[in-house]
Amino acid sequence: MKKEKNQHVQFDLVAEKIQSMLETMSFGSITIIVQDGKVIQLEKNEKVRIK
């Protein structure tokens, strides 16, 4: 049961971080790095378009 709770907490944290990244980005990508079935890193690659 404790492992399930930890996974749920991690999922909520990752979802919050991704949402925050999306809100501050107009163009680009977000990469999710997974190791042993767990998200260990998020990478944001933002593009700035000059018109």
Q: CA 35 to CA 39: how far, in whole Å? A: 6
Q: Is 45 exposed, middle or buried (0-12, 13-18, 19+ CB in 10 A)?
A: exposed
Structure confidence at residue 16 (pLDDT): 96
Contacts of 31 (CB under 8 A, 6+ apart): 42, 43, 45
Structure confidence at residue 22 (pLDDT): 96
Q: CA 39 to CA 48: how far, in whole Å? A: 27
Domain chopping of the chain, boundaries:
2-46
With a cut of 70, say whether residue 49 has pLDDT above it.
Answer: yes
The residue ranking higher by pLDDT, 20 or 10, is 20
The pLDDT tens digits of the residues spanning 12-39 come to 999 999 999 999 999 999 999 999 989 9
pTM: 0.76
Structure confidence at residue 3 (pLDDT): 65
